[in-house]
Amino acid sequence: MSVPRVTVERPAAAPRPQLMKGNEAMADAAIEAGCDAYFGYPITPQAELLERLARRMPELGRVFIQAESEIGAINMALGAAATGARVLVSTSSPGMSLMAEAMSYMSGSELPMLLINVMRGGPGLGSIGPSQSDYFQATKGHGHGDYRVPVLAPASIAEAVALVADGFEIAARYRTPVILLADGIMGQAMEPVVPAFRTPAWDASAWELTGADGRSPRVVRSLHLLPEDLEAHNRHLQAKFAAITERETRWAGEQLDDAEIVVVAYGTAARVARTAIERARAAGLRAGLFRPISLWPFPTAALAIAARRARAIVALELSAGQMVEDVRLAVDTAPVFFHGRTGGMVPTPGEVVDRLSIAWALTAPTP
Amino acid sequence: MTAGLRTDDRRVVYGRPALLTDRSTHYCPGCGHGIIHRLIAELLDELHLGPKTIGVASVGCSVFAYDYLGIDFVESPHGRAPAVATGVRRARPDAFVFTYQGDGDLAAIGTAEIVHAAARGERITVVFVNNGIYGMTGGQMAPTTLLGQHTTSSPRGRESAVTGFPIPITEMLAILPGVVYAARGSITDPGQIGRTKAMIRRAFESQLAGPGLSIVEVLSTCPVGWGMTPTESMAHVANDVTGVYPLGVLVDRRRMAMGEV
């Protein structure tokens, strides 16, 4: 006897949040973004990222190599990127120092890559605690030469997932390395996440090396020995960096409409700032949060506007004061205060509220 | 090669390989790079590898190899060519991949990268050109410089008490199971050039046959850096350098596995 089949229309279930660790969520996001090849070296606090990809990438028939050093890892990435592959590298601060050389070469050779730096305390071997003391390195530095690299800083694991896909997209669009700058807490913390995985477009036809079959040979290079040639190449790069500045500057604001104190913070520091701002408002201090998401390009113009009605700016960092220099370059309408902790210490909301109170008192309008 | 083609009544027995570009090199008179570039171009032609080859250029005089070989190339940071080649090979498994590295590049700054590419048995070929000196930067001492040799950074001659001993890195690599073929040749006369070409052919064929790194060290010259004429330089390699770096096949594991040795 045949039973008629009945189809029941179920309402689409709301996606259930998953409890995800930052490093593992970023690894999954890279896989979903279509990452073809990963190269890394063990270092705390990013090791889970490497471990997760060690398991998952070969299952998917993709490339995973644990290199002999961070230098080896990023140069493997350089080679793979030259063939058009969607390449991911991850490390933590001391490893980033070793990758500085190839960052310069990849920028000069216009090769795309996403690099995740889960920052730890420094200088030197430092600590394995969370830190934001590589802001200078990420936004101003790493290798030699006139170049810039987009730097994206997530303040939640959900945002880290989204920025992995965005990072690949920006890398391909502008043919540049992109840094996703997380700190130890972003890598190690677990949060409920509805992961918004995304596979961005990727067209490597303009640069990929395939073997010169039916076309002229291609050379991926950063060497231009004639000064005229190198200056022309630098002008091309600078025009690209200007386009990135114009189109890829990102920030978020919270409670800025009536803010008289603007707290500027990114990543984990922004999470602390958010709690401190709630407490400050409860005590009658009108504070708001300006959160840079792209650290380079820094949201200079947006911050200047947000600061226009403020009587004080407070930069909050897990460092001795690095981003604050960009804040001071952006703001000339109000005094800029700084609060930071170093070495893996994280400021408490209470100590931030104390700083806001001091800034509030010092900038009180004279009667 | 254009050998065998007839033009008019004459038979061309020696011509410019198709993959060797028709231009003058920037290399100094008596430098060995021109000969070694030619051997690579001949072999890529003969093995029909040009359309699938991706070369990795390293830092030194030979970084401009891509100007003289008509194939795809990626330029590597100093010493990192084996790591770059690893990325190329893994991301594009169908490609034919070789690095072209000098002794400063491979035996000094790039030791970690070559040792670990060899340890992994990367399916790449390394053409290692050893002239015992940093030529491009003006003739400084390299780890391969002979004892007593005068360079701009060992003006009293290389002294072992201060700077140690010449490094036989190809012998060191040959003991690794990941290295399927390792050999050392020279270019001091047509016979040696022919033997070196056979070594590079064997190295290329090893890559085509399967996993494992293949390396050919080619003892070359730097007349300007050595303060010698081109003729004296060739004689110096034949008489003195080969005493420290003996010529021959160091290991051929594919042949050993087949019981031929």
- Which of B24, B99, B97, B107 has its CA nearest to residue B62? B99
pLDDT in tens, A284-321: 999 999 999 999 999 999 999 999 999 999 999 999 99
Whether B91 sits inside 8 A of A83 (CB atoms) is: yes
Q: Residue A6's pLDDT band (boundaries 50, 70, 90)?
A: low
pLDDT in tens, B63-79: 999 999 999 999 999 99
**Min distance B75 CA to chain A CA atoms (Å):** 5
Record the tokens describing residue B86, joined without a space.
């690893």
Residue A365 has pLDDT above 90, yes or no: no
Residue B239 has pLDDT above 70, yes or no: yes
Whether A217 sits inside 8 A of B70 (CB atoms) is: yes
Residue A367 has pLDDT above 80, yes or no: no
Q: Residue A225's pLDDT band (boundaries 50, 70, 90)?
A: very high
Residue B3 has pLDDT above 70, yes or no: no
pLDDT in tens, B131-189: 999 999 999 999 999 999 999 999 999 999 999 999 999 999 999 999 999 999 999 99
Point out the residue among A75, A76, A212 whose CB comes nearest to the CB of B72.
Answer: A212
Residue A71 has pLDDT above 70, yes or no: yes
SS (H, E, C) chain B: CCCCCEECCEECCCCCCCCECCCCCCCCCCCCHHHHHHHHHHHHHHCCCHHHEEEEECCCHHHHHHHHECCEEEECCCCCHHHHHHHHHHHCCCCEEEEEEEHHHHHHHCHHHHHHHHHCCCCCEEEEEECCEECCCCCEECCCCCCCCCECCECCCCCHHHHCCCCCHHHHHHCCCCEEEEEEEECCCHHHHHHHHHHHHHHHHHHHHCCCEEEEEEECCCHHHHCCCHHHHHHHHHHHHHHHCCCEEEEEHHHHHCCCC
pLDDT in tens, A196-207: 899 999 999 999
Q: Residue B1's pLDDT band (boundaries 50, 70, 90)?
A: very low
Q: Tell me, what's the pLDDT at A46?
A: 95
Return the SS3 of A58. helix
pLDDT in tens, A226-247: 999 999 999 999 999 999 999 9
Whether B113 sits inside 8 A of A75 (CB atoms) is: yes
Whether A102 sits inside 8 A of B95 (CB atoms) is: no
Note if the pTM is more than 0.90.
Answer: yes
Q: Is B86 on the interface with A (CB under 8 A)?
A: yes
CA distances from A91 to A35, A255, A260, B59, B113 (A): 16, 34, 39, 26, 18
The conformation of residue A317, written as its DSSP 8-state character, comes to: E
Quote the mean pLDDT of chain B. 95
Complex ipTM: 0.94
